[in-house]
Structure 1
């Protein structure tokens, strides 16, 4: 059981997250001085227990499982928010999404301001690697703005092939609303493009080609599958896709179809891993697998409760595993708490970059924890969703939750299912954690009121 810290100490720790991290990790590989490639794979709406290695009852994912068995698996991995585009904001910028106008959109929709996107003056997960001499590419879902204005190429990626909006039909490659295709859909770099086939395979094949063409220049590849996000379609559903009236596909899907979608994604991960082996890059490539938030209707989150759109563990606890044969011992397991915004400083440090010079981030450099050079460090993390109707703080083993106007307190070390209410037994802890969340929330941008943000142009209080 963790100790109960004072509010002053915790807030000081939050504001100096990077400084709390251990000394920088020296880049190391099988060849002296060489930089590791990075392949960052993210699923869309995958529940914690949707993989064989995390407890699925019916889905087989041998390729993804091999990342865990060949490296380190973190059971306490989190998405920085319980929904897609804010988490992608946190991942890209290494900070709480709520610091930025973009992060207030839950998620980004057609009703968002047309020029909305990541702030152009901020370092990103892609730009910090490009500054290190990497070739950077995003394959898959973007969902953070329109190409040419706020697309991947405007925020650190050298190349992009993927879907612009939050979802797309797996065969038509665009959103379908009222029977009509809308939005940009599939784009290459800054313009819409056409491609045939099943979208998960399209992304996997592009990743293989990218790895094979990479040469000796280090590669930073973001592979953001849209699977297993709706619409509920497998490889044999091309004919059905032509008549689906809406991409949300509310009347479709099944456990079997969901299994098929996840297993197709796993097959594409297998192709990517095989390409790394075939090109001799596997030993010095960091491969990450995670999800953008908890699962939706057909996913498993056991033993956690909640789902996408909720700050309960099922909405924010996600699979998280990392493989780097040159530095990470196979079969490693860790209780380290890690969130989406931690990947920027952590991966940059693992590649030999200087995190302090790159910028200031809420995310913590956990590189030494990943390679086994340091013990797990205690974290305090915050969540907010749906105009503050949902709030959560995790401080060590303790978690404060506000849902529907009611407050709860749980000890996750004893009760990770969030069912053994501790609020009445620990009123002082409850009050202190509520105050912690209020202090954190005061540093974030306010939600938009009556359709307009109170501070839409802002991003970051003065201390950042």
Structure 2
């Protein structure tokens, strides 16, 4: 995949134009906070491999997840649409015994790329349904190695509730047993997939969806604690030291995958994306933002986003372009040269921003059933509603969301509130009742606001 002649980009800078469509390596962390890596501000956890990606590519300052919890974001990512357009999106998040599934007729990122002659592989977390016959292989991925549910023990690879243990490690449709720390295993498998797919002429999409640093709280040295574990839903456990170890293991695994990519000679024509599925958990650093997973405060939805594409994306560049998980489907299609109808997606292509174009204004919407949360971001302004209490913040001036401007910017507040209501009318309603599973997250918000 050698480079061809240079092409001029906005701003007069020339970059080499690669032959053929690029590969995509999409790396998603789980519950990683906005500032949990060095290049976003964390100084007590070494993340040299992720930081190097930022040095070699572009760092987004205003990137968001589709949701403040995992499975809805993954639905937005794979469909390029607001997750609330499908019943599955009302599961916040999807429980391990849920009978909800992604409809067969739904167009997905791997399916559309496969139709354009891409090899497609998912290594890691699926979390869009555990119903038989409704997994990754039925929705566009040609190979799958990982877990179907939302979180498992890092050593036992099972979802554990007391005496009930549900094994959840798969090679395609086959349940498997494997010794090792899951973060390390996923990195090793991703490297194997790169080598396997590099042997073919066709480009590839490798979705590498780590479970780290999602609970249960276990480092690579905590095998004895895993043996005694009785609850995968570890809302009260953990420590800062354990969290640091989990993030360090994540960075080390990513470094190994990137090293394999380079050894395979695929660096120059591979778009590498690194992000998280939602805001951080209790041990995350989200400064200067407030809030955490399960909340529509910035700390619950703002995520790190780094993109590297040698020769096309300027090194060590930074953009304030707002971005959302659902943008990656149209971005990949445009980058791969695949024709598509933009009206098919709620997400937009980020390619212009990636190759040096100007920042474009847009509106981003959220809702979350627990505590009746609503949010709309437009420019520097954010409309936020929590449990019937309404706010208007200037995020640029007030990233901690403390200075409520709704009684000062009355017209702006009324307009944004009305826009959110109009948008919500185009989405599916929530089913009746407020599921207790959803209330596990965002439980601190009622006390805070």
User: Normalising by the residue count of structure 2, what TM-score does the alignment of the two structures yield?
Assistant: 0.91
1:10-409 correspondence to structure 2 within 5 Å: 31-32=18-19, 34-110=20-96, 112=98, 114=99, 116-146=100-130, 148-182=132-166, 184-214=167-197, 215=199, 216-356=201-341, 360-372=344-356, 374-386=357-369, 389-409=372-392
User: 1:436 and 1:282, CA in 2 relative to 1: closer, same or farther beyond 3 A?
Assistant: same
| Deviation, structure 1 residue 147 | 6.0
SS in 2 for 1:90: helix
Residue of structure 2 aligned with 1:421, choices 398, 401, 404: 404
CA distance in 1, matches of 2:18, 2:95: 46
CA contact (8 A) 1:147 1:189 kept: no
Cα distance, 1:187 vs. partner? 1.1
Deviation per CA, 1:182-238, whole angstroms, max 9, x where unpaired?
A: 2x5111112311111000011000001111122232110000000000011111111
Render the CA deviation track for 1:115-151: whole Å, top value 9, x for unaligned: x222221211111111111110000111101264210
Confirm or deny: 8 A CA contact 2:17 2:312 kept in the other structure.
no
Of 141-150 and 233-242, more deviation after overlay is shown by 141-150
Q: What SS does the corresponding residue of 2:206 show, helix, strand or coil?
A: strand
SS at match of 2:27: strand
Tell which deviates more after alignment, 138-147 or 301-310.
138-147
Which stretches in structure 2 are left out of the alignment for 5+ residues? 1-9, 436-449
CA–CA distance in 1 between the matches of 2:113 and 2:35?
31
Question: Which 4+ runs in 1 deviate beyond 4 A?
Answer: 28-31
CA distance in 2, matches of 1:59, 1:77: 22
C-alpha separation in 2, matches of 1:224 and 1:94: 17
Aligned partners of 2:279 and 2:292 also within 8 Å: yes
Looking at structure 1, the residues matched to 280 and 108 of structure 2 have their Cα atoms a distance apart, in angstroms, of: 26
C-alpha deviation, 1:180, in angstroms: 2.9
Q: Deviations over 1:216-266 (max 9, x none)?
A: 321100000000000111111111111111012345311111011001010
Aligned mates of 2:387, 2:421 — CA distance in 1? 17
Deviation, structure 1 residue 378: 0.3
Deviation at 1:347, TM superposition (A): 1.6
CA offset digits 1:246-290 (Å, max 9, x no partner): 012345311111011001010011011101110100011000000
Q: 1:29 to 1:179 in 2, by over 3 A?
A: farther
User: Structure 2 CA distance, aligned partners of 1:36 and 1:29?
Assistant: 13
Distance 2:209 2:66 in 1: 16
For residue 160 of structure 2, give the secondary structure of its aligned residue in structure 1: strand
Deviations 1:395-431 (A, max 9, x none): 1111000012100001112112211211110111111
Q: Note if contact 2:371-2:387 (Cα within 8 Å) is conserved in structure 1.
A: no
CA distance 1:267–1:200, change in 2 (3 Å):
same
Aligned in 2, Cα 1:393/1:450: closer, same or farther, shift over 3 Å? closer
8 A Cα contact 1:30 1:283, kept in partner: no
Structure 1 residue 297: Cα displacement: 1.0
Cα distance between partner residues in 1 of 2:399 and 2:340? 33
How many angstroms apart in 1 are the aligned matches of 2:328 and 2:82?
A: 12
Pick one of 414, 419, 426 that aligns with 1:443.
426
Instruction: Provide the aligned C-alpha RMSD in A.
Output: 1.7
How many Å apart are 1:36 and its aligned residue? Answer: 0.7
Give distance in 1, aligned partners of 2:164 and 2:257: 34
Q: Aligned partners of 1:267 and 1:57: how far apart in 2?
A: 17
8 Å CA contact 1:140–1:203 kept in 2: the answer is yes
* Worse-matched range after superposition: 410-419 or 77-86: 410-419
Residue equivalent to 2:440 = none
